[in-house]
Structure 1
Amino acid sequence: MKSPANVVSYLALGIFLFAAEFYTLGMSPGHSPLMLVSHVLLLGVVLFHLGMHLFDSKPSFADASVVVFEITFLILAPALQLAHDAQVLVNTMPFDDTSALHANLIFIVFIVTYLGARHLLPRTIQASTARASEPLTIRYAALIPALAICVVAAMSAFNFASQLQAGDLDGIDVTPLDMIRAKVLFFLIVPVFILIVLHRPRRIGLVWIALALFAFVLLLICQNPLTEKRNALGPIYLTLLALAFQRHLKSPSRVFWAIFVLSGLFFPFSELFTNSRIDKWPLSWATIESFFEEHFASTTYDAWANTEAIVEMVSREGINAGRQLAGSLLFFVPHTVWPDKPLATAILVGEYLQRNYSMWFLNLSAPLPAEGYFDFSWAGVVAYGFLLGHFSRRADALVESPIPLRRALGCYLSFYVVFVLRGSLMVAVAYVVPVLVTFQLVSVLLTSRENRRAEPRTARPLYSGMARRK
C-alpha cells in the first residue's frame, strides 16, 4: 500500500536507523573500513526488507516479525550497546573488527536468502480447501473436563509462582516433568480460551460471557511472567491481540507497526515483573527509567554479539557438522539414552565465553543464522534462510485459513518466529512441539464438523467471513 503516510513512516524510520548507526560508528573510531561498510550494508539490506514488507500487497504477521527482529536485535540493540561500550560487547567478548565483519555478512546472506525463498518460490501453498471450509462447533461435553484440567493447571501455576516469589525454587534444576507441566498443562488453557471466543453463539448470553471470562482468568493465572519465559509469553498475547483486531490489521504497515510497538513495550514490562519481586512493588519511577535505559544494552539482546562469538568458535574449533541440528530434532531423547547428546548452542556459547572471557551465566542466545554457520558453515546460513522463508509462507497460509484454531496457530507461529530467530534452535523446537500437540488435541477432542447442508445450531466462527474463498 503505497500511501503517503506509509512512505513517510518508512523514510522516517530509515533516517532514524541510519542516524543511530552513524552516531554509533562515529563514537567508536579506528575500526576497519570494511567493518564500517558491512554495518551500513546490513542496515541497507534490513531497510530493503522493510520496504518489501511495507509495500507488499498482503499483510504477513510472520514476515513482520522477522523484520522487527532484524531492526531491534541486529540494528538498534548493537548500536546502543556499542554506544555504551565500544570496546567490550554485551557478552563480555572484546570487540573485533574481523568477527564483526563476519557476523554482518552472515546476517546479510541469511536475509537475502530468506527474501529469495519467500518471494521467488512458486506460490503453491493454498490457504483453504472445500473440506476445511465446513463449519465447526464445540463439543461442550468435552469442554467441561478440559476446563476442569485447566483449573488444576491454574492452581499448580499459582503455587509455582508463589514459591518462585518466595525464593523456594532458587537453584532447583528443571526436570522433564516440569517441562511437560509448563508447556502442556499450563498451555492447555490457551487454545481452549481461543476456541471459546472464536466459536461464539449466535446470541451471546450471560452464560457464554461468564464462561469466556472464567477461561480468561485461568489464562492469566497459567500464562504470566512469573510462570513462563517472556519469549514464550509474547506469541500468546500477540496472538490474542491479532485475533481480536484482525479486521483492522488489513495492511502490511499496520501489522508491522503494531508488532514493532507492542514488542518494544511488552518485553521490557514483562522483564520488570520477572526481575523484581512482588514485595518490592510499586517500583519507583527512577527504577523504571533506569531499567528502560539499560534494557537494550543487556544480554536480552545479545544475538549480534553471540554471532561474533560463534564466528570465533568456528575459527578456533571448526564447525559441528550437523550435531546441533541432530540434537534439535531429537530434543526429546534423554542424555541417559544418548550420553553424547549435544547441548543447546547457546549453552556452548556461554561455556566458551566463561572459559575465555568474563561471562558469568549460560542463559544466552544463539541466533538462527549463526546456528546454521556453527553447524554447516555458509551452507547452513543459506539453508536456514531458505527454510525460514518457506516457514513464513506456511504460517501465512494458516493465518488465512477459515478454521479458527488453524488461524490462531498461524498467528502464534508467526510471532514465535522471533523466538526461533533468537535461538537456540534446540530450545525453540522443544518449546514449539508441545504447542503443536496441544493445539491438535484441542482441535480433535473439542470440535466437530457440522453438515454443510444443515444450518449451524449452536456456534459459528467469529471471523469466518474474513477468509478469502479461492
Structure 2
Amino acid sequence: MFFAGKDSEYFSNRVFFTSSIIQVISIYNIFSKSHESYSLEKMFYLFSLFFFGVAPLLQSYDNSKLWYYRPLLEEEYFFTNILVIFIIILYKIIYNFFRKTIQRPRLERKLNSFKVPDKVTFINSLLLIALSLLAFFIVFASNNFNIVPMLVRGGELVADAMRDFEVDESPTKWLIVNNFVRPISIMCFLYYGVTKEKNKVVFAILGILALFTCFPSAVPRFAAAAMYIPVLLILFSFVRKKNVFSLIFVGGLLFLFPFLNIFRNFGDENTEKFKLDFKMFTEAHFDSYQNFALLISNDLITYGKQLLGVFLFWVPRSVWPDKPLGTGAFTAEKLNFFFSNVAANYFAEGYVNFGYIGIILFLIFIAYQTALIDKAYWETERKITGDFFSVLYTVSLGFLFFILRGDMLSSVAYLFGFIFAAIFVYKITTFRIKN
C-alpha cells in the first residue's frame, strides 16, 4: 500500500503512518485468539481494517471526492485517523474488561432455553417446510410471481419483469416482507441444520426453499452476509478451525463484494464486469469514513434526535411525519450531497447524537454487548449441534459488520426483523414439540 501511493501527488507520510497503525492493530486482533476462530470482536477489527485502515488511505492517495463538493483535506484524514486509533485501542481495553467481569453462571441459565432436539419429529419437519414454503410464496407474490426479481436485485431484467406490476409503495409492507418474512425460510433451514439427526430429503427441501427465497444476488450484500455466514459456519466444520473464517471473510470482501454489486443493475449495458480491483476502495461503497470525517469537521450534532429515530424505527412516517432521517440521509441533506443513500458508521452515529462524548458512550455500549455475547458463546461450552443460540450468534456476526458500517436506523430495523424471524421459527417449532 505504500508503493501504491508513492507516486501520488497527494501522498502524506502522516496519513500513511496512522493508517498503517490502524491496519496493524486490526490485523493483530483478527488473527489472535485462534482458539476463538470467529467472534464479534474479530468482526469489529475486520471492519476497522477495511473501512478505517485500507479504504481511507487509498482514498487519500486518489484524492477521492465521493458525495461532497470537495475531497477530504489531508489534515481531516490525519485527525480522523488519530480518532480511529483512539477508538480501536479503547475498544480493546473496554472489551477485555467486560469479558473478564461478566458473570458466566448467569449467562448459562439464560441460554439453556435455546436447545434443539437431536431429531426433529415428522410433524415438526412438515411444519418447518410449511413455514419455509409460506415465506417463499409471500416473497414470490410480492415480486409479481416472477422468478427474475427473486434471483437478481436490480437492473433492466428486473425492470422488465415488474413493468406491468403496480408496486405497493408502503414502507411498512416492504419492511415486513424483506426483514421478517424472507429470513423465515433460511431460519427454518438453519434450525434443521443444527439438529444431530437429519433426513436428507427434508434437509434438501429446506435448503432449496431457503436458497430461492434468499438468493444471494437478490438481497442487499449485508443481508446476504447475515444469512450465509451462519450457513458456512454451521454446515462446514473446517470454516470453524483457527483463522479460516477470517481468511474467507477477507477473500469474500475482496472478491465476492464487487461480484454481488453486479446484480444491483444486472442486464444494464454499463454494468462493470467482475474483477478484483482495489479501485473499489476509493468508490462510494466505502464512503463511511469520509462521511464520518465530514460530520466532525462540520460539527453536526443533534443532541439525541437521531437516536430517538433508531429507538422508534418501527413507527411509520405516516404516523410520525417528523421522524428523523437515517444519519446517512441526514448528513447528505445538511451537507448538500447530490445523493442521499449514503452510509454513516456506528461512531458517526455517536458523534451526531452527542459529539465526542457520544463516541465514547457508543464505544462502551458496543464493547459491552460484543464482550457479553462472545463470552456467552465461547465460555459456556456452546456447541453447534443442538443449540439454536449458535444460529443467533452466527447471524449477529454479519449484522455487527452492517451496524458498524451504518447507518443505525436501517441496520437496527433489519437486525430486529431477522431476530424476530429466528425466534418465531424457534418458538413455533418448540411449541409443537412440547405439545
Other structure's SS at 2:33 match: coil
Letter in 2 for 1:389: A
Match of 1:300 among 282, 285, 291: 285
* Match of residue 233 from structure 2: 242
Other structure's SS at 1:145 match: helix
Match of 2:264 among 255, 267, 274: 274
Structure 2 residue 383 is matched with structure 1 residue 404: no
Distance 1:297 1:52, change over 3 A: closer
Determine the C-alpha separation between the residues in 2 that align with 1:212 and 1:437: 23
* Match of residue 274 from structure 2: 288
Map 1:311-330 onto structure 2 (within 5 A): 311-314=296-299, 318-330=300-312
Map 1:22-421 onto structure 2 (within 5 A): 23-24=4-5, 27-29=8-10, 36-37=13-14, 39-56=16-33, 58-59=35-36, 60-83=38-61, 85-86=62-63, 88-89=65-66, 92-121=69-98, 122-126=100-104, 128-129=108-109, 131-132=112-113, 136=117, 138=120, 139-140=124-125, 142-153=127-138, 155-156=140-141, 159=145, 162=148, 165-167=157-159, 173=169, 175-201=171-197, 208-225=199-216, 227-246=218-237, 248-251=239-242, 253-277=243-267, 287-289=273-275, 292=277, 294-314=279-299, 318-353=300-335, 355=336, 359-397=337-375, 399-400=377-378, 401-402=382-383, 403-421=386-404
Determine the C-alpha separation between the residues in 1 that align with 2:115 and 2:314: 36
Determine the C-alpha separation between the residues in 2 that align with 1:423 and 1:131: 32
Letter in 1 for 2:428: L
Determine the C-alpha separation between the residues in 2 that align with 1:214 and 1:302: 40
Q: Is the 8 A contact 2:65 2:71 kept in 1?
A: yes
Distance 1:125 1:407, change over 3 A: farther
- Provide runs of 4+ in structure 1 moved above 6 Å: none
- Answer with 55-64 or 234-243: which moved more: 55-64
Determine the C-alpha separation between the residues in 1 that align with 2:103 and 2:235: 25
Gaps of 5+ in 1: 1-19, 452-470
Letter in 1 for 2:252: L
Q: TM-score, normalised by structure 2?
A: 0.83
* Match of residue 4 from structure 1: none
Shift of 1:374: 1.4
Determine the C-alpha separation between the residues in 2 that align with 1:374 and 1:155: 39
* Match of residue 406 from structure 2: 423
Q: Is the 8 A contact 1:399 1:409 kept in 2?
A: no
Shift of 1:238: 1.5
Letter in 1 for 2:141: S
Distance 1:313 1:91, change over 3 A: same
Gaps of 5+ in 2: none
- Answer with 256-265 or 163-172: which moved more: 163-172
Shift of 1:107: 1.8
Percentage identity across aligned positions? 19
Count of residues paired in the alignment:
409
Q: Is the 8 A contact 2:63 2:71 kept in 1?
A: no
Q: Is the 8 A contact 1:135 1:449 kept in 2?
A: no
Q: TM-score, normalised by structure 1?
A: 0.77
Distance 1:264 1:287, change over 3 A: closer
The structure showing larger relative contact order (alpha-carbon pairs under 8 Å, at least 6 residues apart) is 1
- Answer with 439-448 or 321-330: which moved more: 439-448
Shift of 1:53: 4.0
Deviations 1:120-177 (A, max 9, x none): 2234253634945866253335334323313413533663663653416699756210
* Match of residue 460 from structure 1: none
Shift of 1:212: 1.5
